[in-house]
Amino acid sequence: MAGPFSLQGQRALVTGANTGIGQAIAVALAGQGASVTCAGRRPCHDTISMIRAAGGEADDLQIDFADPLAARDIFAGADYSLLVNNAGIIRREDAVSHSEADWDAVVDVNLKAVFFTCQAFGRELIGAGRQGAILNIASLLSFQGGIRVPGYTASKHGIAGITKLLANEWAPHGITVNAIAPGYIATNNTEALREDPERSRQILERIPAGRWGRPEDIGGTAAFLCSPAARYITGAVLNVDGGWLAR
């Protein structure tokens, strides 16, 4: 008998599933029985190999969210019930020098594409009368300001807002919409911070858990929020940060 954490019979789309957090989420969902479409700008061969080696089901979808409407047609007539919006980019520059081009690139991928991907997914499920779950990847900078990442901070504050808005509108249709706000996770996006000895020391001193997070720390949380066990959780932005925000 399937337990409350099982994703058997579910089909998931995970964006940005090539590496890091997206890869860990795809592997975690497949580990609970979901069939996972791994989407990214580049082929997700490594992620798919990991899932299949463990006996799971996965396929590949190349998609570039530099076009915020790139996903407008992929849900039509498909049987997806889970959507994880993980794809994102970051541009580091002082606010006085942050260019319009960098602002637009970050906001298009991190916020505009997420909304319109959610819209396409929600439209299909609501039209078909099916339930489902959306999980957006927010950030500690959904709560804080940060430094030298103005476009990223704005986009991640926006993710928190549209997560709550969609949760309000779509709860009557049986669609939950939540977000995870990862703390400092050892991924490509934080490589520059980890390679700066002074900045890395400052970060670790603030984290009660005393370590950088691992992508798997986010994967397990994602699998829970997509599962039947979380059906009464919607509109939440859950920080998974080793205690950073509690400090």
CATH of the domain at 94: 3.40.50.720
Rounded mean pLDDT, 62-87 = 97
Q: What is the pLDDT of residue 193?
A: 86
| DSSP 8-state secondary structure symbol assigned to residue 111 | I
Q: Which ranges in the chain belong to alpha helices (H)?
A: 20-31, 45-53, 100-107, 113-128, 150-170, 191-194, 197-206, 215-225
* Cα gap 212→200, rounded to integer Å: 9
Question: Is 152 a known active-site residue?
Answer: yes
Q: Which two tokens stand for residue 109?
A: 């991928």
Residue 1 forms part of a structural domain: no
Q: Tell me, what amino acid is at 118?
A: C
| DSSP 8-state secondary structure symbol assigned to residue 89 | -
Helix (H) or strand (E) holding 70: none
Question: Which of 76, 79, 92, 74 lies closest to 15, judged by CA?
Answer: 74
Q: What is the pLDDT of residue 56?
A: 98
* Cα gap 136→110, rounded to integer Å: 10
* Cα gap 186→90, rounded to integer Å: 15
Count Cα atoms within 13 angstroms, Cβ side, for 211. 4
Residue 107 forms part of a structural domain: yes
> What pTM was computed for the model?
0.96
Residue 2 forms part of a structural domain: no
* Cα gap 19→229, rounded to integer Å: 27
Q: What is the pLDDT of residue 167?
A: 98
Predicted confidence band of residue 152 (pLDDT cuts 50, 70, 90): very high
Residue % of the chain over a pLDDT of 70:
99
- Residues 32-69 have pLDDT tens digits of 999 999 999 999 999 999 999 999 999 999 999 999 99
- Residues 194-228 have pLDDT tens digits of 999 999 999 999 999 999 999 999 999 999 999 99
Residue 186 forms part of a structural domain: yes
146-175 burial code (b ≥16 CB/10 A, e <16): eeebbbbbebbbbbbebbbebbeebeeeeb
Q: What is the pLDDT of residue 191?
A: 87
Rounded mean pLDDT, 190-194 = 87
Residue % of the chain over a pLDDT of 90:
96
Residue 6 forms part of a structural domain: no
Whether residue 127 has pLDDT greater than 70 = yes
Q: What is the pLDDT of residue 149?
A: 96
Q: Which two tokens stand for residue 126?
A: 């609501």
Q: How many angstroms from the chain centroid is the CA of residue 188?
A: 15
Q: Looking at the 3D structure of the chain, how many domains does it have? A: 1
Question: Which residues does residue 38 pair with via DSSP β-bridges, in sequence order?
Answer: 14, 60
Q: What is the pLDDT of residue 1?
A: 55
Q: What is the pLDDT of residue 192?
A: 83
Structural domain containing residue 180: 11-246
> What is residue 182's three-state secondary structure?
strand
Whether residue 188 has pLDDT greater than 90 = no
* Cα gap 12→19, rounded to integer Å: 17
Q: Which of 80, 152, 184, 232 is catalytic?
A: 152
* Cα gap 229→184, rounded to integer Å: 27
Residues 6+ apart with CB under 8 A from 100: none
Rounded mean pLDDT, 164-182 = 98
Q: What is the pLDDT of residue 189?
A: 78
